[in-house]
Amino acid sequence: MKLILPYVQVILSILLVGIILLQRTGAQVGGAFGGNDNWSSAYHTRRGMEKWLFGATIVIGILFAVSALVNLI
């Protein structure tokens, strides 16, 4: 188990970074510097692929955290 766990963590971390980068943010480049684009990302409903990516991010994040805790034991 101790031999396989680091490889599992590397794969999960690569998947997690990839899924996070695929998600579209509500703020464009101007929003990163304090601009307002009149579209709040906090008040919209996720649909389709965006909803799937959001759920996958949560699941993979939890799996990564659990694998890190198991690695400590």
Instruction: Dump pLDDT digits (tens) for 5-36.
Output: 989 999 999 999 999 998 876 555 445 555 55
Task: Report yes or no on 12 lying in a domain.
Answer: yes
Where in 1-73 does DSSP place strands (E)?
none
CB-CB contact of 3 with 71 (8 Å): no
pLDDT value for 68: 92
Query: Domain range for residue 63?
Result: 1-23+46-73
Name the residue type at position 42: A
Q: How far apart are CA 15 and CA 20, in angstroms?
A: 9
Q: How far apart are CA 71 and CA 6, in angstroms?
A: 8
Domain count for the chain, please give it. Answer: 1
The reported pTM is 0.68
CB-CB contact of 73 with 5 (8 Å): no
Q: How far apart are CA 25 and CA 48, in angstroms?
A: 15
Task: Report yes or no on 39 lying in a domain.
Answer: no
